[in-house]
Structure 1
């Protein structure tokens, strides 16, 4: 089986230059990843380029939930709720190691957005529309039952609560696993490869792109019969390159999340609560931390240069104090944070929370296909729609033998359990085997849960550890380099493991040794080593120090 190795990246880029592809996808977030997997499994020859690291935009900066679409009930978008509910179940079944059912508590208070009847009815309708399995259907709680689950929530005016299931995910790892699955099926994929301009034929039809290797600054051409712009917040930039930006355009909504240690924010039950201004905010426990978000404000500017403002932090802290008045959580208690932008289709006169998250597809005169908007939950269905269009375009000019979409029942990388119900037994057996390597129970279980059926590949690197790194961390680093195309220390700590967000102490303790191991593995010059080390330090500053 081919390895998605960072050490073989130059070979991948050379193969892009020497071939003609059916489809070139620009963008390595969850949307582009889904399109690549769908297209390659139908028999299309696929290339994908991403100008930064995979999932470095919106796809690593979400609330990390595979939503079922509950919020759309307020906007009476019934079809959207039904489709997202179905897709959520598919995402879980195809990758249960990166998607976990999470009971969410929706408390209701006197004078709040939701009352007992509206909550009960809304959740019941949601269960029916979304096709929620019987074991995960909503439960209504009394005031006492609500406080038993979440004793630190606001007691004044509390009437009770509703329980329903969301699916918690690691958005970046979900994206990586989809990309790995596409690569294994034959897609040619690279990060740090920027589509700089389009190539046109004599009829001004887009037939390729000039691509710059961001690491070496070398430029090369990629030829393709169909080009798909799936670059998230940057789709309008590419449409401008194509001179095809029309009346409909993106508007960016900024979302901020703050992370606290459980010692200062002791939460064991995920909560979805309304704020005094009528918005809804999540508070979610994860790996000994609690993260809270999100804000929802219009953002203008370069998404790569976005920072978290004092106003952003104060808004979330105010929301926490409103719903958890007994907590004395202060700004200095923030352990880490992240900010991202959601690309929304502009709707005149509407605020960011009111704008639909529906996706739209546009095709320009040059033939460039652009997919914009949408949600992480719907990535597979969005991909199916886009690839359907690409196949129709290909069949207009050639007799392609392309198969149907098969991703509905196609496990992503690490999800080959033979059904989600078999995952628990797999974890039990693999943890038992892995303990023989000398790792402790906690770390072994964490690795097996995170990497699923790839866990044995990860653990195989333990025996080669000649560094000062702990065995488990070394194994993850080697796996990230050799099988997940991690190029830089920030790729590893932010998007391959999530440790910068949820385990900052490990990052601070071992960052120097990780840089040393990567420098030796990649044969970096001293200049390269300093550059990538400085980039990691900058990521740490952005995540941990108020701007």
Structure 2
């Protein structure tokens, strides 16, 4: 099955032409994981997503496939053990979107963690998470801690813990899982919204009415089993199914801000206590010449489709940084961009947002709707396995067909076919040389290989054959290759898909994004044959995304202020 934007309508028609074994509603990391597990086991699988893939929570996380050290503090031993082991599996199956990141935990007098308890805690963490020997924790003296990160406040510093997390690109991880599911036979379409549930005479759920958000065409898609993996919207679908009960979602919002590395020259990723006494902890992580900082954790009651940073959110993180790094003296003008995400947690009476468990839970309604709620990015594969186990157990009872157990632990993700994580550095070196021979710089080549892994072959094929077309749009070869590849192999349908989720440039390279937006939009307009109105609409949508990444929610633009004056 192709995964091209040009095939969206055809894929929807195919889904509607015959009954599926399982239809997954939701194209975030959980839905993608379910699609991969189900298709690997031989189930005829479909996925619909009302926005772009990963447009919700799955592109708005702290971008860590992490072992959950903070959950050890809350005695979530089972959760720590599971996600700790899962991050190593993700790294092995997709080293191009997962990178080991040494994390420094500075220990201060009166802080959350003492030196002895941290040493024991990290040792237990290493054991539960199955951390390999080369990545096990070490304890540092005050001098060693300041050598790792000189910007830390030395006052009251007692030392530090040093341990490994795994940094990821959450949106790209999601898209690689979905692409691999498509390779294995799943049919997946973005911008396809489930608007009505279809029941048989016994009030059993047998299908969904779906509207293509780009063409406004309607489809009726039938499936033996339907899975609700819609993240913050799972209760909305359960309400339609009349199956929402005393287990329901508690949405919390987390925001992140991005600072230029020259303005805040951190050497080392840090996980640290806030200095305002609220007993929360914050990450500050260098990435590609920037530093991103997060996250907040506040109850959220608005529409989850487009959460925003508020000035209060931003100032909370700036105060946290300035409290721990006194020389930084960061101000709101130093914030280059931001993102906000909504966590779909399962409500627990009397607990604050930070105290609510990140565990997942499966609900089965009387109509047969299967809902997966809660959970974490890191645990997506095990969550998917549990959901598909339930799906196949129901199918086996009803049809007598036997399905195999999950094997996704050993399934390489799209782009991950590089002979394992240990070989990936050699693969990068080899492919960088190939890129230089094609006319790219070594930096351009390395950036492409690190982002696309073994899919670099497809991008190099584009570069070999389309040099003239790249020149026609005044696009550098590497940029042209990524936009053409994203349309033909990653179902990019709008400019905002490319800039926000396929490249992450709205978050981490917003000036680059602004520089190249017009030639990229020109190219996309020609490829998709957009009329002037559609091209203008998509351009405005992208510009709004750029503005919302920078400006806090509620701040009026100059244009809005001028219109009021007029």
Tell me the TM-score normalized by structure 1.
Answer: 0.99
Tell me, what secondary structure is at the counterpart of 1:461? helix
Q: What is aligned with 1:114?
A: 113
Q: What is aligned with 1:164?
A: 163
Q: What is aligned with 2:220?
A: 221
What CA distance in whole angstroms lies between the structure 2 residues aligned with 1:41 and 1:344?
Answer: 28
- Give the alignment of 1:19-38 within 5 angstroms: 19-38=18-37
Tell me, what secondary structure is at the counterpart of 1:198? strand
Q: What is aligned with 1:140?
A: 139
Q: Indicate conservation of the 8 Å contact 1:43/1:401, yes or no.
A: no
- Give the alignment of 1:468-479 within 5 angstroms: 468-479=474-485
Whether 1:511 and 2:517 are equivalent positions in the alignment is yes
Tell me, what secondary structure is at the counterpart of 1:210? strand
Q: What is aligned with 1:403?
A: 404
Q: C-alpha offsets along residues 28-85 of structure 1, whole Å, 9 cap, x if unaligned?
A: 0000000000000001000000000000000000000001121111111212111111
What CA distance in whole angstroms lies between the structure 1 residues aligned with 2:78 and 2:526?
Answer: 53
* Partner residue of 2:533 out of 484, 508, 527: 527
Measure how far apart 1:114 and its partner are. Answer: 1.1
Q: What is aligned with 2:295?
A: 294
What CA distance in whole angstroms lies between the structure 1 residues aligned with 2:460 and 2:193?
Answer: 33
Q: What is aligned with 1:67?
A: 66
- Give the alignment of 1:130-529 within 5 angstroms: 130-276=129-275, 277-463=278-464, 464=466, 465=470, 466-529=472-535
Tell me, what secondary structure is at the counterpart of 1:468? coil
What CA distance in whole angstroms lies between the structure 2 residues aligned with 1:24 and 1:394?
Answer: 13
Q: What is aligned with 2:549?
A: 543
Q: What is aligned with 2:81?
A: 82
Q: Indicate conservation of the 8 Å contact 2:26/2:48, yes or no.
A: yes
What CA distance in whole angstroms lies between the structure 2 residues aligned with 1:158 and 1:248?
Answer: 43
Q: Indicate conservation of the 8 Å contact 2:308/2:552, yes or no.
A: no
Q: Indicate conservation of the 8 Å contact 1:94/1:411, yes or no.
A: yes
Measure how far apart 1:452 and its partner are. Answer: 0.5
Tell me, what secondary structure is at the counterpart of 1:228? strand
**Root-mean-square deviation (Å):** 0.8
What CA distance in whole angstroms lies between the structure 2 residues aligned with 1:39 and 1:400?
Answer: 14
Q: C-alpha offsets along residues 286-338 of structure 1, whole Å, 9 cap, x if unaligned?
A: 01000000000000010124221111011001101111111121100100000
What CA distance in whole angstroms lies between the structure 1 residues aligned with 2:83 and 2:305?
Answer: 29
Segments of structure 1 that go 5 or more residues without pairing to the other structure are none
Tell me, what secondary structure is at the counterpart of 1:140? strand
What CA distance in whole angstroms lies between the structure 2 residues aligned with 1:303 and 1:499?
Answer: 22
What CA distance in whole angstroms lies between the structure 2 residues aligned with 1:195 and 1:321?
Answer: 45
Measure how far apart 1:251 and its partner are. Answer: 0.7
The alignment of Structure 1 onto Structure 2 pairs a total of residues equal to: 546
Segments of structure 2 that go 5 or more residues without pairing to the other structure are 554-566
Tell me the TM-score normalized by structure 2.
Answer: 0.96
Measure how far apart 1:3 and its partner are. Answer: 3.1
Tell me, what secondary structure is at the counterpart of 2:252? strand
Measure how far apart 1:268 and its partner are. Answer: 1.9
Tell me, what secondary structure is at the counterpart of 2:353? coil
